[in-house]
Structure 1
Amino acid sequence: MSDSSTIFARTRLAAVPFVPEIRIQQADERIGLWDLIGGAYSSDRPPPFWAFAWAGGQGLARYVLDHPDTVRGLRVLDLATGSGLVAIAAAVAGAAGVRAVDVAADAVRAVGLNAAANGVAVEAVLGDVHDGGLFDRMAGDADVVLVGDGFYSRATAERMLAFLRRAARGGARVLVGDPGREFLPQRQFQQRAAYDVPTRPSLEDVPVKRTAIWELPAPTAGR
């Protein structure tokens, strides 16, 4: 079996703990991020982060389902989508169209499987926020931009923030689900909600992660 086939063979369709309305392919608890790729990580072969429901995505998906007017009838872009959980939540909540973007080809494949399992349509696209042309290709017509747990490294956070600021400047509503990651510049956001999200021991160092939903205001003139 290929690496990709092996990973998918070791996941199962299961309800998301904090968003039980949605089922996605998930790795079993006993399988670690590193075990799935032979105990090693390299830049050209990243771990299958999509195979786990991260706290930021769970919180943002919960928020979208609890506040369907956030996306109903609107065009939605979900960045760093992973399993597609947030994108699927937007589709379930009545978005007019949902586009989900991730840098990993396996994540894009997982989004298609997970969307079908939940009976919704999501356009899954392979793309990287570090690609300067991604905005013009993917975000120009988005009414709402969603990011679940996308501020996990300094380099990614800087590019992500630049992308989101441009989207907000263009009129899109920008919402981020974040469980207190170091690289989210909270002072630039406004908190809309907070949840205590259950997490796996294999992902976080605590069984419950306080997760906030943040909105990025449109930049004012001169900013």
Structure 2
Amino acid sequence: MGHRPVHGRGQVRAAIEDPGAFIRAETRPRPVPLVPEIRLHVADEAVPIWQRTEEELGEMGLPPPFWAFAWAGGQALARHVLDNPGIVAGKRVLDFASGSGLVALAARLAGARAVEAADIDPFARAAIALNAGLNGLDAITACERDVLGRDEGWDVVLAGDIAYERDLAAQVFAWLEALAARGAQVWIGDPGRSYLPRERLEKLAEYGVPVSRELEDSEIKRTAVWRPKPSG
């Protein structure tokens, strides 16, 4: 399959100079289970790549390889966007904490005019660029600046699987609610993470998402698409 894992500290350190090379070595292109229209560079197994990045990339201050998997929240949100293209068609879209870029790719495929895929991890940004090329999609910008707390006039803001850490989730949802209050469309994909503020959201759809037991507690994860309740 052309899959040649990087082994050894020296090789991993060398790959840091070219995140794209690291991603190509550690992953292979596969269709997304719930969104087969899109292919991503994904890891064959979660544990080996997670261990290598935690032990070796972690020493350099890099986050875990969220970009190497199609997470349930992102899959559900991408499916919802593709099935309801009017959400994004002709609009300027932000995909927050984009990871692999799955949701950004779905938005562009559904007709978004321009898509910013924001992630502070340089490996995620490299994965986004690779995955956009893999799917033949343009007008997707991998954005390195931290957009949390900013309002740059996006028409639509998409966010998949962002409620896994308490303090960060509190900041993110306050920001998303502020964007929604000024008129942006905000859509959230979540598979029941602990820090999702359900009482402040309305559920729009639910999907059974095929996932790996290495990453989740079941092989089919019930995952919902939400948006903030109208203020007032």
Global fold match (TM > 0.5)? yes
Query: Which has the higher mean CA deviation after the structures are superposed, 190-199 or 118-127?
Result: 118-127
Contact 1:197/1:210 (<8 A) preserved: yes
Residue 33 of structure 1 contacts residue 47 of structure 1 at CA under 8 Å; is this kept in 2?
no
Residue type matched to 1:77 in 2?
Answer: L
Superimposed CA distance per residue, residues 43-66 of structure 1 (whole angstroms, 9 cap, x where no aligned partner): 922211110000000000000001
In the alignment, is the contact (CA less than 8 A) between 1:37 and 1:47 conserved in 2?
Answer: yes
SS at match of 2:73: helix
**Correspondence 1:96-175 to 2 at 5 A:** 96-121=113-138, 122-128=140-146, 132=149, 135=150, 139-175=151-187
TM-score (norm 2): 0.86
Cα distance, 1:47–1:38 mapped onto 2, change above 3 Å: closer
CA distance in 1, matches of 2:69, 2:118: 17
Question: In percent, how many aligned pairs have the same letter?
Answer: 47
Task: Tell me what 1:17 maps to.
Answer: 33
The secondary structure found in structure 2 opposite 1:181 is: coil
* CA distance 1:203–1:127, shift in 2 (3 Å): farther
Match of 2:3 in 1: none
Letter in 1 for 2:108: A
Report the residue type matching 2:43 in the other structure.
A
Q: Which structure features the higher share of strand residues?
A: 1
- Of 6-15 and 113-122, deviating more is 6-15
Q: 1:104 to 1:208 in 2, by over 3 A?
A: same
Does structure 2 retain, via aligned residues, the 8 Å contact 1:33–1:49?
no
Matching residue's letter, 2:204:
R
In 2, Cα distance between equivalents of 1:154 and 1:143: 27
2:42 to 26, 31, 46: 26
Point out the more displaced range, 1-10 or 70-79. Answer: 1-10
State the Cα deviation string for residues 132-183 of structure 1 (Å, max 9, x = none). 4xx1xxx421111000101110011011112101211221011000000000
Aligned pair count?
A: 214
User: Which residue in the other structure is 1:181 paired with?
Assistant: 193
Taking structure 1 as reference, are residues 194 and 43 closer, same or farther at Cα in structure 2, changes over 3 Å only? Answer: farther
Q: Give the AA of the match of 1:106.
A: F
2:98 alignment counterpart: 81
* Higher share of residues assigned helix: 2
In structure 2, the residue matched to 1:55 is 72
Question: In the alignment, is the contact (CA less than 8 A) between 1:36 and 1:48 conserved in 2?
Answer: no
Please tell me the root mean square deviation across aligned C-alpha atoms, in Å: 1.8
Residues 23-48 of structure 1, C-alpha deviations (whole Å, 9 max, x = no match)? 11101126545223264756922211
Conserved in 2, the CA contact under 8 Å of 1:7 and 1:36? no
| Structure 1 residues not aligned, in runs of 5+ | none
User: Which amino acid letter does the alignment assign opposite residue 126 of structure 1?
Assistant: E
CA contact (8 A) 1:196 1:209 kept: yes
Structure 1, residues 63-106: CA drift from partner, whole Å, max 9, x if none? 00010111111111110100000000000000111111012011
- Is residue 96–residue 157 contact of structure 2 (8 Å, CA) maintained in 1? yes
Q: 1:147 to 1:43 in 2, by over 3 A?
A: farther
Unaligned runs of 5+ in 2: 1-13
